[in-house]
Structure 1
Amino acid sequence: MKVEKYRIHGITQNTETECFQNGTCEHCKRFNTSPVWCQSCDPWKSAQKFTSGNEEIDNFIKELQIKATEYDKVIEWIPFDRLVNRKEIKNKSEVEFMADWLDCIRIIKGESGNYTRSRTISRVELMKLHCSQASTLKLIENFKNHVQLDKYRIHGITQDTETGEYMIVFDFYHQKRKPINGICEDCKRYNTYLAWCQLCDPWREVQGWTSNDKDIDDCIKEFQLKATAYENVIEWIHFDRLEGPKQIDGKRIVDGDSERYTRFRKTSCEVAIKTLPGSQKSDSFLTEVG
């Protein structure tokens, strides 16, 4: 039998305590609605001072900005000349290019009660919207579908000044990027796996080696471009780097803890060697490996 110690009227929540953690709006002086973001004031400031050269697209982007509820999720118009060092990506069906965004991605720094807004130069991915320049409504609907999917982090829209094609600027692997994985040395974002960035690292792996057989090179590079972890990368191994049953260069290992993971190779590790049937013929080799 429960003892009635007091009369209970209900439950409430101290909203001032929760909002205090978000900081104070510089404009209205009230508590922010999310970290360093006031939904009453900030969306209107975000919607100013840009133009894509297309009024319908401008109005669409402003509509998204006015509905924004967080600083780091604001969608922007991104001038194409602010996307530099563009590189074509051929191994991803959705990612077509990557580039460095000079105006930087939005990030929130600090901790509860002391958040600050920041921008950091970072690599981004580009995907064509594949819509006719004359079909603005179709382009807008296409973009809306990507936003609603919530599959990746979308930074904004840009337009290739040479071809006139509109593209989404986004982070394809955003959901895989975690602080525990460390920072990618190339794109400066969190890695997608322990000490491994699935966007940047595979491209480094396919450089600087050859088996002197194009078909074999292409086969190994195909596996390397699909690699999702440092230890699982398949390599071309020069025979003179094998001493007896040992691989002199050592196998790949990731070690560390939740604070920091590092890559290294375990020197002179024992390996097994298997002769592939018909290995002097590239087509037989590719069938066996695949």
Structure 2
Amino acid sequence: MANKKIVWNDKLNSVWDKIYYSLDFNIHKTITQQEEYRKNMIQNDSSLTNNEKKFLLDELQKIYDKLKIGDSSVEKQQCNNCQNWHQATQYCEFCIRKYLENNFKNWTSGNEEIDKLIQECQQKTVSPQCVIEWINYDQFENIEHLTKGGSTIYTATWKVGSYDKWNSENQILKRLGREKVILKRLNNSNSSDEQWFQEVTLSFTLDNTFYSLAVFRGLTKDPSTNDYII
């Protein structure tokens, strides 16, 4: 019998909160110490099944792999593929960046500035879940209006979904599959007003810097209005 897929629920959220808020930063000062403390909390929690522990450990690893990159206290490992010294545990950030660079020729937004911005973001990618990309508008379906204020917001289904994991054996990024997303229309982005481009630049830059902020997956363009959407 196949194992039932684990998803977030009240029980797992409660355990997650406990392992986060119980940590004493005066004792566990480095990222490595904090990671080990939280891993031990999960592994020693008798209320969790083995599958639930694996799920939470995987989620924890995703967070710490991103946090480790650029932290001088984290020990580096040499990649067997590219020979660079990487800091993440589940992947080599340099291999991911090279994979994305090799794919530059296979997409374009039709706008040189936007292409350059996305390419620069991809060359600073710190995890598979944080890849900024150009997304063709026809990749979205079930688009429904949610609200309108300073910007117009929609819900939609992304047919292939965002990148989720790095397959080191095949040296490719794997996608999540069908994914519910929020779309934000950038009003007046089809005009000469550059404020919308500044908003995109700031959003993409912050998303690659701070883990706790809203995750931005990329940029698309509504062909019926020529408005850009994040």
- TM band (smaller chain): 0.5 to 0.7
Which amino acid counterpart does residue 119 of structure 1 have in structure 2?
R
Structure 2 portions without partners, runs of 5+: 1-71
Partner of 2:175: 119
Distance 2:189 2:166 in 1: 39
> Aligned partner of 1:88: which letter?
H
Structure 1 counterpart SS, 2:218: strand
Amino acid at match of 2:96: D
Matched, 1:157 2:219: yes
Distance 2:80 2:189 in 1: 41
Q: Equivalent residue of 1:164, what SS?
A: coil
State the match for 1:43 in structure 2: 97
Task: Work out whether residues 85 and 100 of structure 1, in 8 Å CA contact, stay in contact via their aligned partners in 2.
Answer: yes
Out of 171, 181, 200, the residue aligned to residue 143 of structure 1 is: 200
Greater Rg over alpha carbons, structure: 1
Higher helix share: 2
Q: 2:174 & 2:99 partners in 1: Cα distance? A: 16
Q: Report the alpha carbon displacement of residue 38 of structure 1 after superposing the two structures with TM.
A: 3.0
Answer yes or no: is the 8 Å Cα contact 1:99–1:124 preserved in 2. Answer: yes
Partner of 2:7: none
Aligned-residue offset at 1:52 = 0.5
Closer, same or farther in 2 for the Cα pair 1:91/1:136, shift >3 Å? closer
User: Which amino acid is 2:175 matched to?
Assistant: R
8 Å contact from structure 1 (residues 57, 136) kept in 2? no
Sort the Cα spacing of 1:61 and 1:135 in 2 relative to 1 into closer, same or farther, 3 A.
Answer: farther
Whole-Å Cα distance in 2 between the matches of residues 25 and 52 of structure 1?
A: 34
1:172-183 aligned within 5 A: none
| Amino acid paired to 1:158 | T
Give the Cα separation in 2 of the matches to 1:13 and 1:145: 28
Q: Does 1:130 align with 2:130?
A: no
Equivalent residue for 1:33? 87
Q: Report the TM-score when normalising by structure 2.
A: 0.53
Structure 1 residues 35, 133: closer, same or farther in 2, change over 3 A? farther
State the secondary structure of the residue aligned to 2:217: strand
Q: Give the superposed CA RMSD.
A: 3.2
**Alignment check: 8 A CA contact 1:87 1:99 kept:** yes
Question: How far apart are the structure 2 equivalents of 1:136 and 1:58?
Answer: 18
The 1:81/1:69 distance shift into structure 2, 3 A limit, reads same
1:89-124, CA deviations, whole angstroms, 9 ceiling, x for partnerless residues?
A: 1388766111111221222489xxxxx953122111
SS in 2 for 1:97: strand
Per the normalisation by structure 1, the TM-score is 0.43
Q: Which amino acid aligns with 2:75?
A: T
Alignment deviations for residues 49-107 of structure 1 (CA, whole Å, 9 cap, x no partner): 21001111111111111122222111000100001111111388766111111221222
Kept in 1, the 8 Å contact 2:74–2:87? The answer is no
Q: Which residue in the other structure is 1:204 paired with?
A: none
Alignment of 1:1-290 (within 5 A): 15-16=75-76, 19=77, 24=79, 26=81, 28-30=82-84, 32-47=86-101, 48=104, 49-90=106-147, 96-108=153-165, 118-120=174-176, 121-135=178-192, 137-147=194-204, 148=206, 151-168=213-230
Alpha-carbon separation, structure 2, partners of 1:13 and 1:56: 36
Structure 1's unaligned 5+ residue stretches are 1-11, 111-115, 169-290
Q: How far apart, in 2, do the equivalents of 1:153 and 1:32 lie?
A: 23
What is the deviation of 1:32?
3.8
Identity %: 25
Deviations 1:108-159 (A, max 9, x none): 489xxxxx95312211110012233243743321112333375300000000
What per-residue deviation string (whole Å, max 9, x for no partner) do you get for residues 231-265 of structure 1? xxxxxxxxxxxxxxxxxxxxxxxxxxxxxxxxxxx
**Structure with higher strand content:** 1
Structure with the bigger RCO (C-alpha within 8 Å, sep 6+) is 2
Decide whether the 8 Å contact of 2:190 with 2:227 is kept in 1.
Answer: yes
| CA pair 40-152 structure 1, distance change in 2 beyond 3 A | same
